[in-house]
C-alpha cells in the first residue's frame, strides 16, 4: 500500500461523512415523507443541502471505485469505518460532548477492527483448490 492509496481511503471517509451529514440536514428541512406518497422523495432533490450531499457522495463514489480497483471489498469497508471514530473524537474534543464508557468501548472496537484489517494484505487471492494425490500420481506415471 502506497501513500496515494491511503489518501484514497481517507477521501472515502471524508466525502462519505460530509455527504451523509448534508443529506441528514436536508431531509430535516424536507420533513417526513408519507409512506403513501413515496414519489415525494424526489422533491428533496431541490433542497440545497441534499444537492451538496449528492455532490459529496459523487466524490465518495469515485474514490470508492478507485479503492475497489486495488483492494478487496472486505478490506475497503472496515478500513474506512475509522470515520465513526473521527466523528466521536471530534464530538468529544471539539464540541465538548460527553463520551460515555460504552462509546469509548465502541471507539476501541472499531479502532482494533480497522487495525486488524489494515495490517493485512489489501488484495487476497482465493487459495487454490488442492489437487488430489491420486491425480498427481497418475500424471507422474
Partner 1 sequence: MKNLYTWVCIFSTVCASATGDVLIALAMRRIGDLGHFHRKHGFLAVIARVLSGGVLFGGIFFMAMAFFSNLVGLSWADLSLMGPASAALTFVANAIAAKFFLHENVDRRRWVATIFVCGGVLLLTYS
Compute the least distance from the CB of residue 40 to partner 1, in Å: 9
Please work out the total of residues on this chain that contact partner 1, with binding judged by CB under 8 A: 54
What b-and-e string marks burial along 41-71, b requiring 16 or more CB atoms within 10 Å of the CB? eeebeebebbebbeebbebbeebbebbeeeb
Asked whether position 12 contacts partner 1 by CB under 8 A, the answer is no
Asked whether position 1 contacts partner 1 by CB under 8 A, the answer is no
Q: Give me the residues that bind partner 1 (CB under 8 A), please.
A: 4-5, 20-21, 23-24, 27, 30-33, 35, 38, 41, 44, 50, 57, 61, 64-66, 68-70, 72-75, 77-78, 81, 84, 88, 100-103, 105-114, 116-117, 120, 124-127
Amino acid at each position: 500500500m502506497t501513500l496515494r492509496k491511503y489518501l484514497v481511503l481517507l477521501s472515502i471517509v471524508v466525502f462519505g461523512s460530509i455527504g451523509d451529514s448534508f443529506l441528514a440536514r436536508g431531509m430535516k428541512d424536507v420533513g417526513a415523507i408519507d409512506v403513501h406518497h413515496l414519489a415525494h422523495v424526489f422533491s428533496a432533490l431541490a433542497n440545497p443541502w441534499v444537492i451538496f450531499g449528492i455532490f459529496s457522495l459523487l466524490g465518495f463514489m469515485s474514490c470508492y471505485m478507485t479503492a475497489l480497483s486495488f483492494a478487496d471489498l472486505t478490506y475497503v469497508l472496515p478500513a474506512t469505518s475509522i470515520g465513526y471514530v473521527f466523528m466521536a473524537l471530534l464530538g468529544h474534543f471539539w464540541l465538548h460532548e460527553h463520551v460515555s464508557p460504552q462509546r469509548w468501548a465502541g471507539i476501541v472496537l472499531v479502532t482494533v477492527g480497522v487495525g486488524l484489517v489494515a495490517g493485512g494484505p489489501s488484495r487476497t487471492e482465493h487459495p487454490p483448490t488442492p489437487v488430489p494425490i491420486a491425480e498427481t500420481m497418475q500424471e507422474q506415471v
